[in-house]
Amino acid sequence: MLDRLINEIPRFFQYYTILLLWQAMATTLGMAVIGCTMGFAFGFVLVCLRQLTGWVFLPVRIVTIVYVDLFRRVPFLVILYLVLFFIQAVNPNASLLSIAVIGICILSIAYTAEIIRAGFESVPRQQIEAATVMNFNRLQILRSVIIPQAWPVILPPAFAYMVGFIKDTALVSQIGVLELTSAGKILNNRGFSALLVFGTILVLYFVLSYPLSRLGAFAEARLAPPRNR
Amino acid sequence: MNYTFQFGVALAQLPVLLSAALVTLELAFLAFWGGALIGVAGATAKTYGGPALRRLASAYVVFFTNTPALLQIYFIYYGLPEFGVLIPAFIAVVLGLMLNAGAYLTEIMRAGFISVRRQEVEAAETLGMSLFQMVRYVIVPHIAKTIYPSLANFFILLVLGSSMGAIFSVNELTGTAIDISTENYRWLEMFLLVGVIYIALTFIASVSLALIGRFAFRVKAKVF
Amino acid sequence: MHHLEIASLGCRYGKLEVLRNVSLTVAKGEVVSLIGPSGSGKSTLLRVLMGLTPPTRGEVKIDGETIDYGSSRCVRTVRERMAIVFQQYNLFQNMDVLRNVTIAPVKIKRRPRPEVEADAKRILAKVGLSDKHHAYPDELSGGQQQRVAIARALALKPEILLLDEVTSALDPELVNEVLDTIRGLAADGMTMLIVSHEMAFVREVASRVVMMDNGQVIEEGSPRQIFDAPTSERCREFVGKILRH
């Protein structure tokens, strides 16, 4: 068994394999970056919409709450299949990669919105009252008081989420996007040892994700005091 | 889009899907309890173990939390046969989820271990409690109360995560939906229905866990 | 004419009647002190005045003008004329002292920054914090934080200053520095409505004392009257209890 492994290694680490893995890793990273960026942008908008008061905005508030709560109760795999078949029904020519990215964004918006909301809610009510009695409007309160005080609370779980998110993208291998996991399946099908292939892929995921989780731990330690400058 | 929804066809499969949902819960339960055992062992090693044991537990946690659960299952399912160990897909999925959950639960449990304050232990000592009594009446309830919300949350994540079983042809909820859809071609309807079942399932789980938490540990867990 | 006039004000949270029927007046330059057991509605009264809690009945007039707490425009003008200092200071944790004091005049009232900063520095000197312009709230003692909070309120140039138990959260040795600041304001002729449990201070600085209990005004009069010769049984009981320790 071990002999076979050792025999395979030179054949495995050849130009072609390395190129495939490199491209796959770039795709994985790219999807994670797009997903997180979109997640934070739209998640932030969603949370801000949720802060609107008055009955006029009740439907808006309900939509944001329902979106965030429902999509966090459906497995990513199911979301992916839904997006796949829905988009293929609308536009049969849509690329698999774009479908995967849309699925990723739907998921990440829901989860990041929840992280951002928890951060916003960690700001004491009295801080908001103090601003209110000085005639700050809601936007000014958000900008001057809530966001500066919330981001140290948001950042550590946000990093943890991003780390998790790189791993979540592994599931898009199921709808046929060529990223790290599918590269592993391809190489395994070519006859390379599963131990060698999936072991390598595991290490590559680790290489992507570990620095980010260290950064998250560092951010958490740095931001532990309640204040930020 | 000119797609005619035919929910009747999907709804006819509801009984099959519901029994598949039980398999989903089974997977989640097995992974959770297996993971919890690993978690207790890992947290004990990390908190009270010697340097070697601590390093081993840390390495386990770091590796398993920084790689995808899906890949861990691949490694087990396709890798173990190369050692001559053939295991059924269901076992491989449970094992993979369990090892993955164990890493996260180690961290959750450790947070609970650390939260036990010295004063509380000292107070118990001055009351003349034996070690067993102290663990039983002071330490365990304290830890349980501290980590319960995280545990409840993690269980929900495992219910969702168990859908990875579908990739290994385990007939849990998602896998069954894929099987049926390949026969009746009503993918969208089937997956919409499956989504609703997952929402219902996790919602019921959240509510029951919140109730259990309230009565057993006096934890005010939020359902949403 | 009274500067501030409160007439049969009522406020309820659900079934709980926090304010039943409160009437009181404050003239220009007067220091009116609200005393009474906790839960008697003193703080709620201040919150209602600032538009943080809506009143359920009654009316509030400033210079004879009735305030409509349902209209946000009207509430804005009220907040321009009155400022409040809270028990827990509520300084913005993410801003240094100077920014805490200047943010509202600059950003909300749109006054030129140099002018506001000069003003703020003058006020901070008055409350004895000239050396703390760039300190953050969590680097200050409670007493210092509370003086910054007073400076922040003063920078808004309010006609009436509301003080809500501003020394209750402080360690005993820090109480006096805050009380001294308020004494100074009273000497300058600042109109104030003060909720306080510091009876000796109230006696010294208040021109009028209003005793509240159970959401109602029980008795009002000069400090002498209230502390030395209260007429109502409830007031005598409360004052007796407080003065005994």
Instruction: Give pLDDT tens digits for A159-182.
Output: 888 888 899 899 999 998 999 999
Amino acid B129: pLDDT: 84
What chain A residue is nearest to B69 in terms of C-alpha separation? A167
Beta strands in chain A (DSSP E): none
Residue to test with chain B: of A6, A72, A85, A107, most B Cβ within 10 A: A85
pLDDT more than 90, % of chain B: 58
Assess A51–B contact: CB distance below 8 Å, yes or no: no
Amino acid B130: pLDDT: 84
pLDDT grade, residue B1 (50/70/90)?
low
Q: Tell me the β-bridge partners of B123.
A: none
**d(Cα A100, Cα A171) in Å, to the nearest integer?**
9
Residuewise pLDDT in 10s, chain C (245 residues): 578 999 999 998 888 889 998 999 999 999 999 999 888 899 999 999 999 999 999 999 999 899 999 888 999 999 999 999 999 999 999 999 999 999 999 999 999 999 999 999 999 999 999 999 999 999 999 999 999 999 999 999 999 999 999 998 888 888 989 999 999 999 999 999 999 988 889 999 999 999 999 999 999 999 999 988 888 888 888 888 877 65
**d(Cα A205, Cα A163) in Å, to the nearest integer?**
10
What chain B residue is nearest to A65 in terms of C-alpha separation? B224
Cα–chain center distance at A6: 37
pLDDT more than 70, % of chain A: 97
What chain B residue is nearest to A185 in terms of C-alpha separation? B74
Would A228 be classed as within a structural domain?
no
Amino acid A229: pLDDT: 41
Assess B192–A contact: CB distance below 8 Å, yes or no: yes
Smallest Cβ–Cβ distance between A130 and the set C51, C80, C90 belongs to: C90
Assess C156–A contact: CB distance below 8 Å, yes or no: yes
Q: Tokens standing for C129?
A: 């914090």
The H-or-E segment that residue C13 falls in is strand C4-13
Indicate which CATH number applies to the domain containing A135.
Answer: 1.10.3720.10
Residues 96-135 of C with CB under 8 A from A: 103-104, 107-108
What chain B residue is nearest to A188 in terms of C-alpha separation? B78
Structural domain harbouring A205: 2-222
Contacting chains of A (3 CB pairs or more, <8 Å) are B, C
Beta strands in C110-226 (DSSP E): 160-164, 191-195, 208-213, 216-221
* Contact flag A201-B69 (C-beta cutoff 8 Å): no
Q: Tokens standing for C157?
A: 């140039």
Q: A83 or B222: whose pLDDT is higher?
A: A83
Q: Identify whether the C-beta of residue C242 lies closer than 8 Å to the C-beta of residue C228.
A: no
Q: Tell me the β-bridge partners of C160.
A: C82, C191
Contacting chains of B (3 CB pairs or more, <8 Å) are A
Q: Identify whether the C-beta of residue A183 lies closer than 8 Å to the C-beta of residue A20.
A: yes
pLDDT tens-digit profile of B205-221?
999 999 988 888 777 65
* Contact flag B195-A78 (C-beta cutoff 8 Å): yes
Would A8 be classed as within a structural domain?
yes
* Closest alpha carbon to B97 in B188, B191, B33, B15: B33
Would A227 be classed as within a structural domain?
no
Would A72 be classed as within a structural domain?
yes
The H-or-E segment that residue C11 falls in is strand C4-13
Smallest Cβ–Cβ distance between B195 and the set A82, A184, A202 belongs to: A82
**d(Cα C243, Cα C199) in Å, to the nearest integer?**
8
**d(Cα A165, Cα A33) in Å, to the nearest integer?**
9
CATH numbers and ranges of domains, chain C: 4-244 (3.40.50.300)
What is the pLDDT averaged over residues A69-73? Answer: 94
Smallest Cβ–Cβ distance between A206 and the set B63, B164, B174 belongs to: B63
Would A229 be classed as within a structural domain?
no
DSSP tag of C67? P
Q: Tokens standing for A43?
A: 């998640």
Model ipTM value: 0.89
- What type of residue is B14? L
By CB atoms closer than 10 A (0-12, 13-18, 19+), residue C105 is: buried
pLDDT grade, residue B223 (50/70/90)?
low
What chain A residue is nearest to C50 in terms of C-alpha separation? A133
What chain B residue is nearest to A5 in terms of C-alpha separation? B82
* Contact flag A75-B156 (C-beta cutoff 8 Å): no
**d(Cα B57, Cα B38) in Å, to the nearest integer?**
10
Q: Tell me the β-bridge partners of C26.
A: C4
What is the pLDDT averaged over residues A49-72? Answer: 90
* Contact flag A133-C91 (C-beta cutoff 8 Å): no
Smallest Cβ–Cβ distance between B82 and the set A185, A195, A205 belongs to: A195
* Contact flag C52-A133 (C-beta cutoff 8 Å): yes
Residue labelled with tokens 């076992």: B91
Amino acid C1: pLDDT: 59
Q: Tokens standing for C43?
A: 């703080």
Assess A82–B contact: CB distance below 8 Å, yes or no: yes
- What type of residue is C226? I
CATH numbers and ranges of domains, chain B: 7-217 (1.10.3720.10)
**d(Cα C70, Cα C77) in Å, to the nearest integer?**
13
* Closest alpha carbon to A35 in A114, A103, A86, A87: A103
Would A210 be classed as within a structural domain?
yes
* Contact flag A144-C103 (C-beta cutoff 8 Å): yes
pLDDT tens-digit profile of B41-91?
999 999 888 899 999 999 999 999 999 999 999 999 998 888 888 899 999
**d(Cα A34, Cα A37) in Å, to the nearest integer?**
5
* Contact flag C107-A140 (C-beta cutoff 8 Å): yes
- Sequence-distant (6+) residues with CB within 8 A of B188 are A82, A85, A86, A89, B3, B5
